[in-house]
Structure formats: C-alpha cells, structure tokens
Structure 1
Amino acid sequence: MNKSISLKSRPVGTPTLSNFEFKEVEKPQIKEGEVLLQLKFVSVDPYLRGRMSDAKSYIPPFELDKAISSGAIAEVVESKNDNYKVGDFVSGHLDWQEYQVSEGKNLLKVDGAQVSLSAYLGVLGMTGLTAYFGLSEIGKPKEGETIVVSGAAGAVGSVVGQIGKILGCRVIGIAGTDEKVEMLKSKFGFDEAINYNTTKDMQKAIAEASPDGVDVYFDNVGGEISDAVHANINRFGRVVVCGAISMYNATEVPMGPRVQGFLVKQSALMQGFIVGNYQEKFPEGMKQLVTWLQEGKLTYEETRVQGFDNIPNAFLQLFEGKNKGKMIVEI
C-alpha cells in the first residue's frame, strides 16, 4: 500500500478536511540513477495555504488532484544512485506520499546522531534560516535595541527571539495562550511576553513592555496585532514582514490603519521577504545556527502529530494556534 494526499478542491476561507483527498497509489519502482524514499517526518507550514489558491505568487499553486508537497525527511529504502545508500536520511521538498522516487537532486543528507532528524525541518531547516536571515538582513538588530515578535511561540518566532537575545537585545513576544507566554520566558529567554487573547489594549501593553519603544518588529501575523506594534515603532525602526497568518483565510481584503503614516513619521523601514531570497547564503546561515545549537544558545520546541493520515489535521491546527514551536507530523 502507498498512500497519497492530494488537493481535491481549492479552499474558500479556512481550509477543511473536505479540501483534501486520500488516495492509494502504486508503490513505484526505481530505475538506474534513482532512489526510493519512505517518508519519516513531514513539515506543515502556514505558507501552504497560499499555494492552495489559484493565485499568482512567489511559488506556483498546487495542482488539483495531484499530491501536495512540503518540506520532509525521508529514508532511502532502495538505491540505484551511487550518491545514496540504503539507510541514508535526506531532507527535501517531497510529496505527501508514503513512498516516492527521486533522482537525488535537491536532496540534502542529514544525520540524526547529534540532533533529532526533525530538527532539519525546524531550527536547522527553512524555519531557522527564515528567522536568521529575516532578522539579520532586514531587522539588523543592534545590541541594546528592543525587538517585538508576533507569532512568537511558533516555529520561526521562537527562533527569532532567541537570536535577538544572543545579539544582546531586549525581546518581547506575542502569543495566544498563557502557557505559550510562560514558555517564551522560561524556555526561550524572552524578556516579556503578551497574551493577545486576554489583553484588551494591545497598543498599551506593547508600550508598557517596551518603555524605550520598538526598534525591530518581526511580523508573522499581520492584522490588528501588527497595527498595535506599528504605533510603538521608534524612529528608524525596522519592520520585517515574514507572514500574515491572521489574513490567510480572509475572503475579502481586510481594512485597517494605513502604514504610510508611521513609516513617514518615524522614517521606518518595512520589508517583506521569502527565505529563498538568501539562498546563496544558506551555508553561512546553517553554520551559524548549528554553532549556536551546539553551544546551547539555541533550543527548539516541536508539536508532533502521529501518522500519515493526520497530515491535513496537523496543517489545519496551525490556524487554531494549537502548535508550540514547529508543527511536525511523524509518519
């Protein structure tokens, strides 16, 4: 048996299980130069929501009735490729299909001896690199400055906050539960954390947590939370726009305060990015993340969901804020 999960229909608003289709497909046979991969860990990420819509973006949309794909870790179970042997583990952008064939291109060998294999989907993968380059290349934090991170208990946000502390900054996180707020301070070393679900006046709460104002805002959520942070941005502040999960399922363009006012008033910078912009620097970023991890300066949190059939459920739980750190499906 070889299970596959495809996109059955394009979501309108928040995706549901009805948008996915489970199929049984033939287990493939490999030819010379190929390897047979068996999925071990699958990454589910908010950006996948954008690929479910038939809209122009920085990456093509998923095709209907074809397997969805995302970052994953797989084991080589058969090989006719001299670069890979049976038992090797690799990371890559792979289909949501239990067994699949690869020519070996765009695969990275990974070793689970020092860290969990799943870490290569999180702190040592696109998640960690997104945090590293977004903060360092756009945020450009200086020692003693204040950084605010929204979606701080998520995969990217939790790494951003830790890097901020490594660089000598005051770091404030925004999350959605008291448990996550406590985790940000006790596990990840944030100086302050705010529960947006129990805070009536976010603008005031951010001002109280950052009495010297906000120098860098790492934005993972957009919406009203970001409006409140923008009101506290310092002169020459930098806003790093990594994501906008609060708006991904909106059926209409939401209206809110315009950004031009605070950008002009504070001579502030706002820039969006995707991690692929820095692909040529990935080795540099990976080297630094590994060093910090080995030195004990970085740690990470995972929410693991068990079973191939639960990949769609895990993805949907992202929009309910049920993950702490990286959401991983263990096959």
Structure 2
Amino acid sequence: MLLLGEKDIQKAIHITQITDSLEHAYKLYHQKQFVMGQRMQLSTGENTFLLMPCIAAESIGTKIVSVFPDNIETPVTQGLMILLCGKSGQVKAILNGTTLTNMRTGSLGGLAVRHLAKRDAKIIGLVGLGAQGLHQLTAACKERDFNKIVLWNRSRPKTEAFIEKLKLKIAPDIDITAEDSLEKLVKQSDIVITATTSKQPVLPNNQHIYSGKLIIGIGSFRVDMREFPEALFKGASRMYIDTLDAKNETGDVIDPLKNAWMAPRQIIPFSNVIVNKVGAINRTDERPVLFKSTGMALFDLVAALKIYESAVQRNIGQKVYL
C-alpha cells in the first residue's frame, strides 16, 4: 500500500494532467461505465461530512470528506481518499483527500474554461480566496493566456497572502488586482469564478453586466447554498452541470428550476460537451453561459488513479505493509 501526502501528490503530478484525466472521467460518465450512488451527506449546523464511493476503470475508490466553513487554522475542506484494486479488493493507496479535492475541483473549472470560454478571454475574476480559489485560477491559467486576474473576498486581510501564493503558480506577467466592488469585478472580467460556501447569492443581481461572459460556480454543494443571483439565471443561455445529481444537491440548480428562472432544457450535462453530443457554443450570443460543479466520486477515483500511477512510475510516496 502506498501513502501519498500533499507534497507527494504535488511531486507526482501537474494540475493539467488532472484536467486531462477528468476529460476521460466525463467520457466514462457519459457512457455509464461506472457504479456510483448519490454521495452521502451528514450536516451539523454549517458543517458537512461526506462519503463518496465509486467503482470504475477496474478500481474502487472511497473519499471521506469534512467541510467546516468557519475553519481558520485548518483547511475548510479535509479528507482521505482510499484507492483499491477492482479485481482483488486490495488497498493500493491512501491519498491526502484535501489535496486531491483541491486539484480535481480546480481542474473541473479548468475544463470549463477549456471548452466554454472565448478563445480571446483575457481577464478572469475570482470571488472567494480560499484554497479552492487558488486551484481554480491555477488550472484556468493553463487554458487561456490571461493578462489580468481580479480578486474579491469578504476578508481583505487575506488578499495579500493569497496573491503571494498565486504568483508562485501562474505566469509572472499576469497582473493581479483586488476589487472592493463585485459589480466592477464582473464588468471587467471575461470569466468569473465563484468559490464560496455562501447561502446567499454572492454575485450582483444585475442582468446587464453578464453579457457574453462565462460564469463558473464551484462552491455551493448543498441545497441551502447558492452563489448565483436570480438575474443571472434569467439571462443565461444555458447552464452546464458536471453531474445530474446536481439537480438535487445544490441551490444553484434547484432554485432556478423550481422558480422557472431557467427551463429544464437549458440544464445540460457537461459530458455532452466532452463527447461532442452538443454543438459548439455560439459565442456571438451575448447571453452568459453558466457552469455549475458539485463534484462526484467518479472524478475523485479517476484523479486518484492517475496520481497513483504517476507516483508508482516516479517512485514517490511511502510504502506501508499491513
């Protein structure tokens, strides 16, 4: 059995390799070549515990995750990933689930940029400067040649430390600025990413500022969470979701359907884009395009398998014999 901590994972693989592997995961999802139930969620107040098992690609994976939004000294999202052989049931590896989650979720946003963003997108905005926001920008900057990043966070003291970490992960010539106004952030950005656990919409309820933009929602994963405002749903041409379970899991999909702000035909599995089942997006249409991710165990399994294979090949990690 191989133990892979944070530094091991970072040595073993680059985030673009995770992004590429998730393209394969979407194909498995579309072809239904997996076994996966809806993830189990237990909540106590603002805190959530999740159990996410899946079988695919001759492997078995189970991720155990805790999400504690008020954490300051420790990460908001923490966990472990257990990877087993699908033929023998033998445990092959235990991975740092926090690092795995951050990298694969960042890569999901990166894939949305790869397939949905305009080719000439130059400015990207981020709302929420946690660990997930850092990985979102890291992955996104591998998909487009941005010249500017605009940041907003409710806690301004956190911004400087975030910028210093971000500079280590992206091209040095990208300008990074912080905005006090969310409306100003949206207006100047070609792509906007929200990475919060807010229960109330974090973006302005002004339909006119979203024309032609790609809006990526990463943070809300519970029915009582929502990052997108009503006006954004009403003005959008379509919303891509990474899993059909999102229709039952997040307020960012439940609310617009329940209130008829969007029609069911406008909610499209993102796997349809990956396998070319839907045509190319008409980027002359000035209505915004939405991408909403809640994640699923299949992504974790495929990403963990890719990390494990790379670590074995490069002799990274600690071997443990039980």
Question: Which of 1 and 2 has greater Rg?
Answer: 1
TM-score class, shorter-chain normalisation, is: 0.3 to 0.5
Q: Which structure shows the higher helix fraction?
A: 2
Structure-1-length-normalised TM-score = 0.43
- Which structure has more relative contact order (CA 8 Å, sep 6+)? It is 2
